[in-house]
Structure 1
Amino acid sequence: MNSPAITIDGLTKRFGAVTAVDDLSFTVAPGRVTGFLGPNGSGKTTTLRMLLGLVEPTAGRALIGDRPYLQIRRPAQEVGAALEASSFHPGRTGLGHLTTLAPQVGVSKARCREMLDFVGLTAAADRRVGGYSMGMRQRLGLATALLGDPGVILLDEPANGLDPQGIVWLRGLLRSLAHEGRTVLLSSHVLAEVRSTVDDVVVISNGRLVRASTLTEFEDLAVHAVGVRTPSPASFVALARERHWRIEDAPGGFRIHGVDTATVGSAAFGAGIELHELTDAGADLETVFLQLTGSATPSMGAVR
């Protein structure tokens, strides 16, 4: 599939005295999944709404390919979006919701049933949406976004309300869409979701861009950590202090920042300290995020 890129160019939006988005520029490439990150109130949702023509920019451009969304003749066949999992008529069934949209999108009722099956809602097709769980509404939102088989996919917090199995399913779906050459942009506040799903990241704070890079380049900014379990915790803490390692308590043991497993293992062996577990705990992306955004948020889980 030959999908267009997304271009955000000098995009600005002011609501009275409040600047929600401030001279924001970045691109989203086809064939890749891009994660759009930022603290609460950073301007992510406002940016997506401007991209879809729901909010008029104060300045700048938001383009699908070389056109604004409102200039696309058959938008549902080029751009699929799910911004809110609650924007359904509660009295309609899942199938009824899609078939109501089908004439506008230009698809058949059979396509509606196909999409409900694709997102795992076949058994709930004739149930009223008002009785759907949050996770089921997320799946219906995805079915709606994909109804016209678009090349550009925009999703706002798509994993909210999904159970672990659903999150794994979503991750595979997004990767497969990108593999087909589609352009996928999703906002998220879940660190594990970003790390396991996206190719690129765009981080904003106070409406301004603070980082746009590949995920690998983003991870290179992080300090790596090592996990340790030992039957001699006091001796190990003394060793860590002697070596000036940054150490903190972790479930069942310790986490040491800024060193690798070989360094810790060699030092413990030399000091005669028995280790029951020595693992690479990975990059501390949470700290990188907080440093980039200047956020006081205590956990990446609170990012919006």
Structure 2
Amino acid sequence: MAGTAPAVAAPSLAVAGLTKTFGPVRAVDDLTFEVRPGAVTGFLGPNGAGKTTTLRMLLGLATPTSGSTRVGDRPYAAHPQPARVVGAALEATGFHPGRTGLGHLQVYAPQVGADLDRCHELLETVGLTAAAGRRVGQYSMGMRQRLGLATALLGDPPCLVLDEPTNGLDPEGIRWLRTLLRGFAAEGRTVLVSSHLLGEVQNTVDDVVVIVRGRLVHASSLADLAALAEPGAYVVSPTADAVADLARREGWSVRAHERGLVVDGVTAGAVGAAAHRDGVELHELTPRGTDLEDVFLRLTASGHDLAGPPGAAR
């Protein structure tokens, strides 16, 4: 997108102090973040973290206990034609099984001013032209995901909100979805995609928002999240206790792993130099860095931002 003006002026999406309780359960807890136009933002967290509840409040499908949401300068429902501003697909189960794929789109098309040609165009876009006349009850999970996306795109919206859109897609389908969403963002549109697995979306997203138990634990660019990855080294020694003592003297974190030890937060070269200096015998020394998935798992396991205080955002 560098060097070219975006084709679409899209609003941002934002939640501020958002809280939702169900009896004694606090599903969303004082959540605040913003989703910028021209980027794909991954809304991440383990199952039950409160992602779907947050998206439902953003789209006016659930009422917050406190806090607010907005699409641009107003709540979603305050837009004259909200479905033309935000296209959303929150689940792949809200289809009448007796309708055809084309028939499903034709039901929703008048709400956003779409005609029959637009319905056919979108079926081609999502790869369902050959299945347009089949009943949705005969569709696979992946096909229903594609049909849900086509429904979200009917009004050519500047914003797109998708809840776990890779569920049911095969690797080819995930690559297709990635290309579609990247192109959508390149046009200057706003894209928010939820997932409980960073690995499924890390090649798609520009920004990440991570929540655990309804609370924000991290918000940044994907590059800033990657910067939280730490070096490490895997060590095998006939004197493992000596390696562990060495690591503790140096202030390194050490833990047992398979046949040896993992020393976190330090390069293999530094471990080797310290072992040579202290005369500690090593039989194996292998660099072992954390990757994005490791960082994500550490965030969701601890419930704290690794870059700062809990809930710190960029």
Q: Under a length normalisation based on structure 1, what TM-score does the superposition of the two structures give?
A: 0.82
Distance 1:260 1:91, change over 3 A: farther
CA RMSD of aligned residues (A): 3.0
Residues 109 and 293 of structure 1: CA distance in aligned 2, closer, same or farther (over 3 Å): farther
* Residue 138 of structure 2 corresponds to residue 131 of structure 1: yes
The yes-or-no answer on 1:248 pairing with 2:257 is yes
What's 1:301 paired with? none
Is 1:182 aligned to residue 189 of structure 2?
yes
Deviation at 1:144, TM superposition (A): 0.9
Task: Report the counterpart of residue 75 of structure 1 in structure 2.
Answer: 82
CA deviation after TM superposition for structure 1 residue 61, in Å: 1.1
- Residues 240, 246 of structure 1: 8 Å contact kept: no
Q: Take 2:301 and 2:126, find their aligned partners in 1: how far apart are those partners?
A: 34
Given that residues 12 and 22 in structure 1 are in contact (C-alpha distance below 8 angstroms), is that contact kept between their aligned partners in structure 2? yes
Alignment-mate amino acid for residue 216 of structure 1: A
After TM superposition, the structure 1 = structure 2 runs for residues 219-238 of structure 1, keeping only pairs within 5 Å, are: 219-225=226-232
Displacement of 1:183 in angstroms is 0.7
Per-residue deviation at 1:38? Answer: 2.1
Select which of 171, 176, 181 maps to 1:169: 176
Question: Which of 54, 58, 64 is the matching residue for 2:65?
Answer: 58
Q: Which piece of structure 1 moves more, 85-94 or 169-178?
A: 169-178
Q: Tell me, which stretches of 5 or more residues in structure 1 are unaligned?
A: 295-304
- Tell me how far apart the structure 1 counterparts of residues 159 and 127 of structure 2 sit (CA, whole Å): 22
User: Which residue number corresponds to residue 43 of structure 1?
Assistant: 50
SS of the residue 2:162 aligns to: strand
How far the C-alpha of 1:167 sits from its partner, in A, is: 1.0
Partner of 2:106: 99
**Is the 8 Å Cα contact of residues 134 and 161 (structure 1) preserved in structure 2?**
yes
Q: Distance in 2 between matches of 1:84 and 1:142?
A: 10
Question: Deviation of residue 2 (structure 1)?
Answer: 0.6
> Does residue 288 of structure 1 match 2:299?
yes
Q: 1:96 Cα deviation (Å)?
A: 0.8
Matched, 1:10 2:21: no
**Could you tell me which residue of structure 1 aligns to residue 3 of structure 2?**
none
Aligned equivalents of 2:221, 2:158: Cα separation in 1: 21
Structure 2 counterpart of 1:206: 213
Q: How many residue pairs get matched?
A: 287
Q: CA deviation at 1:106?
A: 0.5
Match of 1:27 among 10, 30, 34: 34
C-alpha contact (below 8 Å) 2:45/2:197 kept by paired residues: no
Specify the alignment match of 2:199 in structure 1.
192
Task: Please give the alpha-carbon distance, in whole angstroms, between the structure 2 residues aligned to 1:8 and 1:280.
Answer: 35
**Relative to 1, partners in 2 of residues 1:99 and 1:282: Cα closer, same or farther, differing over 3 Å?**
same
User: What's the CA shift for 1:225?
Assistant: 5.0
Call closer, same or farther: CA 1:225–1:279 in 2, change over 3 Å. Answer: closer
Question: Percentage identity across aligned positions?
Answer: 57
**How much does 1:195 deviate?**
2.0
Q: CA separation in 2, counterparts of 1:96 and 1:138?
A: 16
Contact kept, 8 Å, 1:37 with 1:187, in 2: the verdict is yes
**Cα 1:264/1:126, change in 2 over 3 Å:** farther
Cα distance in 2 for residues equivalent to 1:7 and 1:203: 15
Q: 1:85 to 1:236 in 2, by over 3 A?
A: farther
Label 1:223 to 1:114 Cα distance change in 2 as closer, same or farther (>3 A).
Answer: same
Q: Summarize the Cα distance change of 1:240–1:178 in structure 2 as closer, same or farther, 3 Å threshold.
A: farther
5+ long unaligned stretches in structure 2: 1-7, 248-253, 306-314
Within a 5 Å distance, the mapping from 1:262-281 to structure 2 comes to none
Q: TM-score, normalised by structure 2?
A: 0.79
